[in-house]
């Protein structure tokens, strides 16, 4: 058993430099690789998180701008519709005014035409009365002898 212990002691003694090298390698790995790698990963994580936060902020700003644009668009549409309604009312009022003027002018023309017709009727009646007197005289001359005519004319 001594021999086994001696062999184990020799093996352990031979493993000391390997263990020292392993520990040195672990420390070097920690200093040269792991810490810079963790720093880079933390920085990347921070940048990614920052980029995500920036993206969310940009999305929120875009949504706010979109809402503002839509509000302005609705307001502009309302103004345009109000102006259109006002123009339509104005056109309707102008049309009604023009129709009233035309109606008034037409009524005046009708009155003038009626007056002219009444004058024509009065003139025609006077002409008819004058013509009827003349016709009756001609009829009397043609029908009655000359002597009876003078008696009828005297009456």
Q: In residues, how long is the chain?
A: 155
Asked if pLDDT for residue 153 goes beyond 60, the answer is no
Cα first-last separation, the chain: 195
- pTM for the whole structure: 0.43
- Quick: pLDDT tens for 103-147: 999 999 999 999 999 999 999 999 998 888 888 888 888 887 665
**What band does 88 get if pLDDT is binned at 50, 70 and 90?**
very high
Q: Say if CB 134 and CB 143 are below 8 A apart.
A: no
| pLDDT score for 135 | 86
Domain coordinates of the chain in residue numbers? 2-154
Burial of 40 (0-12, 13-18, 19+ CB in 10 A): exposed
Q: What angle do CA 66, 67, 71 make, to 5 degrees?
A: 115
| pLDDT score for 75 | 97
Asked if pLDDT for residue 155 goes beyond 60, the answer is no
- Quick: pLDDT tens for 21-79: 999 999 999 999 999 999 999 999 888 888 899 999 999 999 999 999 999 999 999 99
């Amino acid at each position: 058993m001594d021999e086994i212990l001696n062999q184990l002691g020799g093996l352990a003694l031979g493993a000391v430099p390997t263990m020292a090298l392993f520990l040195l390698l672990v420390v070097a790995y920690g200093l040269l690789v792991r810490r810079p790698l963790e720093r880079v990963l933390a920085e990347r994580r921070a940048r990614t998180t920052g980029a995500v936060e920036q993206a969310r902020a940009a999305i929120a700003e875009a949504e706010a701008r979109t809402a503002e644009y839509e509000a302005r668009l609705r307001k502009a549409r309302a103004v345009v519709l109000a102006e259109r309604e006002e123009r339509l009312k104005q056109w309707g009022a102008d049309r009604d005014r023009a129709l009233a003027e035309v109606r008034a002018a037409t009524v005046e023309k009708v009155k003038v035409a009626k007056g002219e017709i009444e004058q024509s009727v009065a003139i025609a009646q006077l002409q008819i009365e004058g013509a009827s007197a003349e016709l009756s005289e001609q009829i009397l001359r043609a029908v009655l002898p000359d002597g009876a005519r003078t008696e009828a004319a005297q009456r």
